[in-house]
A and B are shown apart, each in its own frame.
Chain A
Amino acid sequence: MKLADPRLVLLAIALAGALGFALPGHATTLLTEALILALFALSLDLLVGHARLTSFGHAGPWAFGAYIAAGQLLVWQIPLPLAVLIAGLATAVIAIPVGWLCVRTGGVTFAMLSLAFAQLGFAVVFKWNAVTGGSDGLAGLPRLGLPAGREVFLLFVCGVLAAAYLLAHGFVTSPLGRIVAAVRENEQRAEALGHDPRRIRLVVFVLSYFLAGVAGALYAGFAQFVSPELFFWTVSGHVLVMVVLGGAGTLVGPMLGALALFYAEHELSALTESWGLALGLLFMVVVIAAPAGLMGWLRAAMGARAR
């Protein structure tokens, strides 16, 4: 069985869901947050890994989804699963004009443009007090439509993560997903095959934003609180590190990268106040020792054993 076999991934997610019934409450909460971040990193991998469009503004769709979910939960009091789905779809809709502008460029320009849109979101929610609560954010979001209990919420997150993974995996192996790979590899060749590179990149942009919006909405339901910090550029940098750390373009790797970074941060911050420094050093060691990320390192290790 291959390391990135979808069945293996689904099994691992199911196991994580089952852990909620065994772990103490605090650990269950941590795991839930880690898995939401795994979904966030998965969504970015479609852009960075699969389409090689390095976004430095992925906090944008994440926070947008979170605020849309928060608004629905507070104003309409609708069930959380429905709010998450609607938030994802709303993010996908806003991704069409945003993406239309962003995918006209590539490289650093794309990174800066995506960052600009996230900063725009930050400015809007920060200033628009009446609707977004400004810098205070929106607190006390109800978690409707789900039975109470941390382990139930964890199961819900696992279900969404599994569905998102299947969607992403199905996409990259589909006819359209392979065209995305062709556009990434050689734009001139993709054109000569009859594909418009911009339209192809827009598709993957929208899908990536949809999943990031879903992740953000889950986070709003998890924290029961949203604030402008969700839009902040460090969030974009953070998730980008997760993707690179895990191994861009592998889908599984970035999810592992998210878990690794989240737990490393948690453990290090308990040990020392300068945990950011330790984390930076750790990141440097990983990037130098395993430039293809955790996934590349795992593959190499397993390949070496097989031989």
Chain B
Amino acid sequence: MSLLSCRGLTRAWGAFRAVDGVDLELAEREICAVIGPNGAGKSTLFAMIAGNLRKSAGTVLLGGEDVTALPAHAMAARGVARSFQITAICPELTALENVRLGVQAREGLRWQPLGGRAAMRRGEALAMVWLERLGLADRAGLPAGELAHGDQRLLEVAVALAQRPRLLILDEPTQGMSQGETRRTVALLRGIMAEAETAILLVEHDLEVVFELAPRLVVLHRGRKIADGPTGQVRADAAVQEAYLGGLD
């Protein structure tokens, strides 16, 4: 059985259909990139899957459970973690505490209004491991808002990873990064993907990044899915060439 199963997902604003009847299946631990030109509906699709946006039509199953109507926090509680196109971190909290909050969410430690010192220290130790993995350990004590843009993007990924999700949604992880930062990020992501126990849905503008990271490619164009298959095959697809890849070259 697939981990994620979307049927006919649609989001309309008036007559405009940002996403129009998209079907998407994702197996456990599968890694899939979604590409498409600006305004193709990639972020809208992800926002619907993660529960940030209501669906105009269609259904979403997660591990066989109908989660169509669930809000974002309920999706997160069911093992969906995500990074956003516009970085969403807690700027006044330290980098370490941002990631520790991810660990805390994983442990389901929520309604404890007093104490919890020991659990917090354990969480910090685990969070530190994630920061080391992403090369941010030396900046652990800095307020997250003071990190460089690229480091903030990575920090958000670290928070999501610390949640140890079943499904990880990355919305343009290298957005706004320099070439050097992008290369570093891709190397890091590849290492993480190789051993991660999570399925990953990835939106990325940088096609080099996509071809390198994702074995499967889905192409959206004007809200519709126009291709879905192994990366090499989709790359060669004539329709994709015309809609997207050709437009860039």
- Please tell me which one of the listed residues A167, A192, A207 contacts residue B50 in the complex, with CB atoms under 8 A apart: A192
Binary contact readout A161-191 vs B (1 if CB under 8 angstroms, 0 otherwise) = 0000001001101111111011001101111
Q: Is B116 in contact with A175, judged by CB distance below 8 angstroms?
A: yes
Q: Are A178 and B119 in contact (CB under 8 A)?
A: no
Q: Does the CB pair B89–A186 fall under 8 Å?
A: yes
User: From residue A275, how far is it (CB to closest CB) to chain B in Å?
Assistant: 37
Tell whether, in the assembled complex, residue B110 and residue A195 are in contact, meaning their CB atoms are under 8 Å apart: yes
Q: How far is the CB of B248 from chain A (nearest CB, A)?
A: 30
Interface 9-mer from B58-66, B71-79, B183-191, B192-200: B71-79
Contacts of B132 in A (CB 8 A): none
Q: Give the nearest-CB partner of B82 in chain A.
A: A192
Structural contact, B110 and A175, CB atoms closer than 8 A: yes
Q: B76 touches which one: A173, A174, A182, A191 (CB < 8 A)?
A: A191
Which of B91, B110, B160, B163 meets A185, CB within 8 Å? B91
Count of chain B residues near A, Cβ 8 A: 37
Q: Is A22 positioned at the interface, with any CB of B under 8 Å from its CB? A: no
Asked if B113 contacts A188 (CB within 8 A), the reply is no
Question: Which B residues are CB-close (under 8 A) to A173?
Answer: 117
Nearest-neighbour CB distance to chain B for A179, whole angstroms, equals 7
Interface string of B8-36 (1 = CB under 8 A from A): 00000000000000000000000000000
B101 at the interface (CB under 8 A from A): yes
Which residues of the other chain, B, contact A181 by a CB distance below 8 angstroms? 90, 93
Within 8 A of A (CB), among B90-137: 90-93, 97, 100-102, 104-105, 109-117, 119-120
- Given the interface pairs A174-B115, A174-B116, A179-B110, the reply to whether A196 lies near B91 with Cβ below 8 Å is no
- Once bound together, how far apart are the Cα atoms of A194 and B115, in whole Å? 21
Q: Residue on B with the closest CB to A189?
A: B88
Asked if B110 contacts A176 (CB within 8 A), the reply is: yes
Instruction: List 12 additional contacts besides A175-B112, A191-B72, A192-B88; criterion CB under 8 Å.
Output: A178-B97, A178-B120, A182-B93, A185-B92, A186-B89, A186-B90, A188-B84, A192-B50, A192-B82, A192-B160, A193-B163, A203-B113
The chain B residues found within 8 Å of chain A, CB to CB, are 50, 52, 71-74, 76-77, 81-82, 84, 88-93, 97, 100-102, 104-105, 109-117, 119-120, 159-160, 163
